[in-house]
Each structure stands twice: as structure tokens, then as C-alpha cells.
Amino acid sequence: MADNRFFASEVSWQDDALCNGAPFDFTPDIETVSGAQAARSLWCNLCPVRVECLAYALLYHQSGYWGGTTTSERRRLGAPRNRVKCPSCKSRAVISTPEGHEICQHCAVSWTGSPMPREAAG
């Protein structure tokens, strides 16, 4: 059986990131809605290492666009509140995007207001 554990301190996953070498500033001084939308639609939503990227950003408190999220979206993950549960894995590590999607940070499924998630692209 393969060992599927992920260690955020190991960064070799970055080699497989779609944004690797992209001509885009993923860590701008000022994050914008249009910048976040561009990062998501052009790279993050289709990236095979989106979960690893997000885990790294959460663990190391990175700023910028990581794993399809903004700095403020990741900050809200730590805020105490009554969170939505993922319909797939029941995790409460769910964030909402400005486009109206819910993304589970545990199993990487996403959905829009529907109780049935769809697998993350990639």
C-alpha cells in the first residue's frame, strides 16, 4: 500500500504546480478580487497539487494566493464560528469563495450550494 501522507515541510510538490514559472505575482503587496479570480481560474482550480499548496500556506502563514485562496480567506479558517460541514468527508475545514463555491480543505472537493460535491479538477 502506498504511503499517501503529505508533509508540508517537503516542498517537492511545488515542481508539479501549474503556477510554477507562471508570469503572475502570486504574492502581491495588495491582493485584489481580480487577482484572486485570475489565480483561481488560470492555475489553482486545475492544479494537481492544490491541497498541498493550501496546506503549506496554512501551516507557514503565507500571504498571497495559495491553493486557490487569499490571505484573508485562510485567516477566516482559524476564526471560531459555526462552520458548514463538507458533504463528502464531514470536515468543517470549509471556505467560501467570492464566486459562491465551498471548498473543503480536508478532502479538496468543492460544491456550489448543492449538497452533492464534485471532485476538484485535476
- Asked if 97 contacts 68 with a C-beta cutoff of 8 angstroms, the reply is yes
Percent of the chain predicted with pLDDT > 90: 40
Average pLDDT over residues 14-36: 94
Q: What pLDDT is attached to residue 23?
A: 93
Percent of the chain predicted with pLDDT > 70: 80
Sign of torsion over alpha carbons 63, 67, 73, 75: negative
- Asked if 106 contacts 86 with a C-beta cutoff of 8 angstroms, the reply is yes
Instruction: Please give the Cα distance from 103 to 110 (Å, whole number).
Output: 4
| Higher-confidence position of 24 and 105 | 24
Which pLDDT band holds residue 13 (cuts at 50, 70, 90)? confident
pTM: 0.61
In the DSSP assignment, the letter for residue 34 is H
pLDDT in tens, 65-120: 999 999 999 988 766 555 678 888 888 778 777 777 788 877 877 777 644 444 44
Would you state the cell numbers that stand for residue 88, as one nine-digit string? Answer: 463528502
Q: What pLDDT is attached to residue 8?
A: 57
Average pLDDT over residues 21-25: 93
Which pLDDT band holds residue 30 (cuts at 50, 70, 90)? very high
Q: Is the pLDDT of residue 49 over 80?
A: yes
